Amino acid sequence: MGRARIDEATRNRLGVEAGGFVEIAGKRTTVATPLGLAPDDEGKGLVRIDGLVRRNLGVGLGDKVGVRKAEVVPGERIILAPIISKSHKISFGQGIENFIKRGLRNRVLTKGDVVIVPGIALMGGALPFKVIETKPETKAQLVEETVISLRETPTFDSEELGPEELLIAFVDRLSDVIDEFAGELSKLGGETGERARSTIKKLLEITHELKGKKP
């Protein structure tokens, strides 16, 4: 799910509570779930977002964006299309719409957004989808009643994600997952706890390596 890390003072000023949403405006507008920032980033007016959210906003690192509380509505219908190169062909099996619905449950989507559905990959890499249409037209939340339509005809445009963008999005999301669960998993005892801590250590090594940093 699209996330935006925002300091506590800003979240309070916007009146955004846990489970709420913020609307972020760059060259485009998208909606994200607000999370807390690291203590060192508090009070600096920063918004930290992953590569995929930056792509949806049309901004880069260090660019200024506007943030406000988002009022969302249940989506009636959402149409998606896969983004793949012209050299590839794709065919989806029966029930893929329900799989997508589970993977994007509660996500707020805007026309033009690019999203990655957990568990759907192509040639070993994440398969991005572009939001072709939503009803209502903006800030449509994917809920149980939402009808998902999938176009097997892929979309090819100048906004297609490149390998580097997908790598950035993958690393950022993996880092978010580690941050979210590492603390609780470290409390596990016995053999299970040892395996959990070993797994966390290996994942941290992988993310640091992909980011070009030393652990």
Q: Which CATH architecture fits 3-69?
A: Beta Barrel (2.40)
In one letter, which amino acid is 62?
G
Work out whether strand 22-25 and strand 66-69 pair parallel, antiparallel, or are unpaired.
Answer: antiparallel
> What region does 121 belong to: left with phi over 0, alpha with psi -120 to 50, or beta?
beta
Work out whether strand 77-82 and strand 147-150 pair parallel, antiparallel, or are unpaired.
Answer: parallel
Q: What percent of the chain has pLDDT over 70?
A: 84
Host H or E run for residue 184: helix 163-185
Domain boundaries, the chain: 3-69, 73-160, 164-210
Pick 86 or 39 by higher pLDDT. Answer: 39
For residue 73, what pLDDT band results from cuts at 50, 70 and 90?
very high
For residue 215, what pLDDT band results from cuts at 50, 70 and 90?
very low
pLDDT at 78: 95
What contacts 182, CB < 8 A, 6 or more positions away? 200
The mean of the pLDDT values for the chain is: 82
Domain 73-160 has CATH 3.10.330.10: yes
Say if residue 20's pLDDT is above 70: yes
